[in-house]
Structure 1
Amino acid sequence: MIIRDARSADVAAMLAIYAPIVETTAISFEASAPSPGEFAARVDKYGNGWAWLVAEDGGELLGYAYGSPHRERAAYRWSVETSAYVAAAARGRGVGQQLYRALLARLAQRGYCNAYAGIALPNAASIGLHESVGFRAIGAFPSVGYKLGRWHDVAWYHQALRAAPAAPEAPA
């Protein structure tokens, strides 16, 4: 398995992983899967400003992970939100861990200090993945999202990527 930067040619395979999650679970709070064009624009935006990585084995895309802005206001620019999605057939094989380790290292290298992940509950697999790579629970937003006929809490997890400098330069 190799971890590499996502490319536009990966969009269809990534959407094949993501669309069923959007359509059948509350893991993502999107109401419908994005179009290929919308998804490609996300890959371009987040891949250039933060990072978007894929795991590939023998030409098959097994999963992806990316960093995105934590919040839009300037004071938040050293913090990122992270997400990872793994193909159903590849779950339980360490794909998510390898993606996350590479993603977190890349984000730290680019100058980010903190990574946050929001996990719609219940989701024991995602909690296990995040804790296995060093994230720690910091709180929850109760009943923050309504999907599939019920309200869902979102647990928030944090991991320091590097020490916060006294006078930081903007991430690269």
Structure 2
Amino acid sequence: MVRSFKTEDTQQLLDIYNYYVVNSVATFDTEPVAFEVYSEKLHRINKAYPLIVFEEDNTILGFAYGSKFRPKPAYNGTVEATVYVKHTAHGKQIGTILYTKLLSLLKQQNFHSVMGVLTIPNDASVKLHEKFGFKQVAELKEVGFKFGKWQNVGFWQLNFN
């Protein structure tokens, strides 16, 4: 079931996120994020953008949200989309289900452009974005340093109109 974020979801979302902090380059956080810091981030996002979770048997298996792309006012019609699926729940189409709902909500809120910012290579995330019509518009070489190696970042873009 996909539903809106509730405050009591914070720990489960943090657990999903911190797994990726410690075990992957999907995020450029390099140390596990504290509960208070993550809670503040989620509440800030939830005030202005959709923040949704995929829940099954009272367990959150994934979440997705929109967030500010850049701080200058001219970017207000552009939003960054983010999705995380619990590492033990891959292959169940949870990312697809979440992105279907998230993109619908972002379109309803009249955003013009949605950006996916991905550490690459990342075949699963690339396939997810391209399934929804995102096109790669940029690749930044060696812009993030994690796990002793410089990482590349790709930008995928979807315009609604």
Query: TM-score, length-normalised on structure 1?
Result: 0.90
Unaligned runs of 5+ in 2: none
Distance 2:115 2:152 in 1: 16
Distance 1:24 1:58 in 2: 26
TM-superposed deviation, 1:125: 1.1
Specify the alignment match of 1:74 in structure 2. Answer: 73
Q: Secondary structure at the match of 1:45?
A: helix
Matched, 1:31 2:30: yes
Distance 1:33 1:115 in 2: 27
Distance 1:134 1:53 in 2: 21
Specify the alignment match of 2:86 in structure 1. Answer: 87
Distance 2:78 2:70 in 1: 8
Which amino acid in the other structure matches residue 12 of structure 1?
Answer: Q
Distance 1:14 1:134 in 2: 27
Distance 1:4 1:37 in 2: 23
Distance 2:32 2:133 in 1: 30
Unaligned runs of 5+ in 1: 164-172
Q: After the TM superposition, which segments of 4 or more aligned residues of structure 1 sit over 4 Å from their partners?
A: none
Specify the alignment match of 2:134 in structure 1. Answer: 135
TM-superposed deviation, 1:90: 1.2
TM-superposed deviation, 1:134: 2.0
Distance 2:146 2:22 in 1: 10
Which amino acid in the other structure matches residue 21 of structure 1?
Answer: Y
Specify the alignment match of 2:12 in structure 1. Answer: 13
Which amino acid in the other structure matches residue 78 of structure 1?
Answer: G
Distance 1:38 1:106 in 2: 26
Specify the alignment match of 2:143 in structure 1. Answer: 144
- Percent identity over the alignment is 29
Which amino acid in the other structure matches residue 30 of structure 2?
Answer: A
Q: Secondary structure at the match of 1:28?
A: coil
